[in-house]
Structures are given as structure tokens and as C-alpha cells.
Amino acid sequence: MSCSNEIIKRNNVTILGSGEKTLLLAHGFGCDQNMWRFMLPALTDHYRVILFDYVGSGKSDLSHFDQSRYSSLEGYAQDVLEVCDALALQDVIFVGHSVSSMIGLIASLQTPKFFSQLIMICPSPCFLNFKPDYMGGFEKSDLVELLDLMDKNYLGWANYLAPLVMGANNSEKLIGELSGSFCSTDPVIAKTFANATFFSDCRHLLKKAKHPVLLFQSSQDSLASVAIGNYMQQQLPDAQLQIVEAEGHCLHMTHPNIINQMLREYIG
């Protein structure tokens, strides 16, 4: 099997639709490519859409999981770059949810030719508070406690985090799906990705961005506040910010039509 085919299989790559422009959709922590399904019907009519699972997530090949590689966001960015290389992509519009926004930024700085625009859904460059200059939303001790809960009571951790992420007033079915997605991930792999997600600090990379960025922030998001969206817009060289009147950290699932419309207008 060629190296390209190995990567396509390893990351469970799916290619849908057709169009002059290509979108690469990257899921967030504890999720997989299936989380994009609400947006797909409107996208595949207009664009070539590429979906994948990070190694350790969804239907990726778990035998390729390497704890040292995936203990930092650079390891996940390597997955993105290897998928782009395997498919010989250029000028892709990268659409990342949550932590994938920063993974995409890292990838785009390493190999700019693969990308043309970055679209970030509920991004945060850093979840930690650094008073008084930056409020990421969480004290380090809170996040350490949250990750300790993964070791002590994995099911309890998933059931606590899912409504926080999806938004407690959103569909119980979606909250249940997210909790189930957390639970179906191998706990060691999930904790490795969680550590990389919640303890990374990508603020210094924002000013270095080489591509235009569209930011989608939820008006009520327990993980990434509107203030974080404003901060990112100020730091990025070329960024537009769209605040969506919504609750939760998963706008691509709870408000797919709004995201699709604004995304298509932005891409032009």
C-alpha cells in the first residue's frame, strides 16, 4: 500500500461533493467527522469537502496512536499536513472546530501553500487565565481537577463535560451524542488529547497567521467567551468576527444553517 493510501486509511478520510474550492473540515476534542453531518448537505452542492478523523478519534486506525506525538497540538497538525500531502491539496479552506482552529493555524504556518483561508468555529488560543492580561476562562487548578476526574470516573467526566460543551439548553439528543462520543474514545487517548487541548497556549501564533481568518463565536459559550473572539480578532493580521446568538461550543451542530450561510458569503 502506498504511503498516501496508508494515511487516507489511517485518518479515515472521506471525500464528498464537487466544486472548484475544497474545504477541509477538522473536528474538535472528543469528536469525529460525523459531527459535521448537519452542515454537509449545503456544502457538498458547492464545494469538494474532505473529512477525516485525527488518529485516536472516530474510525481512525488506533494502531498509529503515539502518545508522545499526540501529547501536543503539533502532532495533530502533522495529521492535517499529511492528509493534505496525501491528497496533493493546495489552497484549501480549512474549517476547524474548537481546538482544531489552533491545530489548523499551526499547520498553516508550517506549510502555507496547502491553505488559502482559515475558518474557526468557537476557537480559543488558550483556555487558561493569565490575570490580568488574558482570561481564557479557566484556572489551571480547575482544569487539573477536570482531567483528574477522567481517571477517577470517566463516565461522570463525560456526563459533566457534554452539557457544558454543547450548551445545557440545547437538544438532549445532541448532548447525549457528545457524551457518547467522549465515552467511546479510549481513556488514555482522550486524556492525551485533553491535556494537549486544555493546557496549550497558542496566543503567540495569532500575529504570525499568513491567511485570512473568519471567526465564529457563540454569544454564550462556557469554553470560549465573546471576549476571546474579540481578542483573537485584534491579534490576527486579517480576521473577521461573527458573533452568533446561540448557546454552546458546537455551532456547527446546533446552528448549522447560520454557519453555512455566513461561511459561503465569506468564501464568496
Asked if the model's pLDDT at residue 2 lies above 90, the reply is no
For residue 246, the enclosing domain spans 3-126+202-267
| Residue type present at position 6 | E
223 and 98 in contact (C-beta within 8 Å)? yes
The model's confidence at residue 130, banded by pLDDT at 50, 70 and 90, is very high
Is residue 145 in some structural domain?
Answer: no
Is residue 196 in some structural domain?
Answer: no
The predicted structure's pLDDT at residue 23? 98
Residues annotated as catalytic are 98, 221, 249
The predicted structure's pLDDT at residue 22? 98
pLDDT, average across residues 151-162: 92
Is residue 121 in some structural domain?
Answer: yes
Is residue 105 in some structural domain?
Answer: yes
3 state DSSP class of 98: coil
| 261: DSSP letter | H
Q: What is the mean pLDDT of the chain?
A: 96
Write the pLDDT tens digit of every residue in 163-176. Answer: 999 999 999 999 99
The predicted structure's pLDDT at residue 148? 93
* Lowest mean per-residue pLDDT among 73-77, 180-184, 228-232, 261-265: 180-184
| 129: DSSP letter | E
Based on the structure, what is the number of domains in the chain?
A: 1
- In whole angstroms, what is the distance from residue 258 CA to residue 264 CA? 10
CA 79 to chain centroid, in Å, comes to: 13
- In whole angstroms, what is the distance from residue 104 CA to residue 97 CA? 10
Specify which residues 138 forms β-bridges with. Answer: 128
Q: Which three cell numbers stand for residue 65?
A: 496512536
39 and 256 in contact (C-beta within 8 Å)? yes
Is residue 149 in some structural domain?
Answer: no
143 and 198 in contact (C-beta within 8 Å)? yes
CA 254 to chain centroid, in Å, comes to: 15
Write the pLDDT tens digit of every residue in 199-257. Answer: 999 999 999 999 999 999 999 999 999 999 999 999 999 999 999 999 999 999 999 99
Is residue 171 in some structural domain?
Answer: no
Write the pLDDT tens digit of every residue in 59-108. Answer: 999 999 999 999 999 999 999 999 999 999 999 999 999 999 999 999 99
Is residue 135 in some structural domain?
Answer: no
Is residue 81 in some structural domain?
Answer: yes
* 183 phi and psi angles, rounded to 5 deg: -70, -30
The model's confidence at residue 3, banded by pLDDT at 50, 70 and 90, is confident
The predicted structure's pLDDT at residue 1? 54
Q: Looking at residue 15, which CATH number applies to its domain?
A: 3.40.50.1820
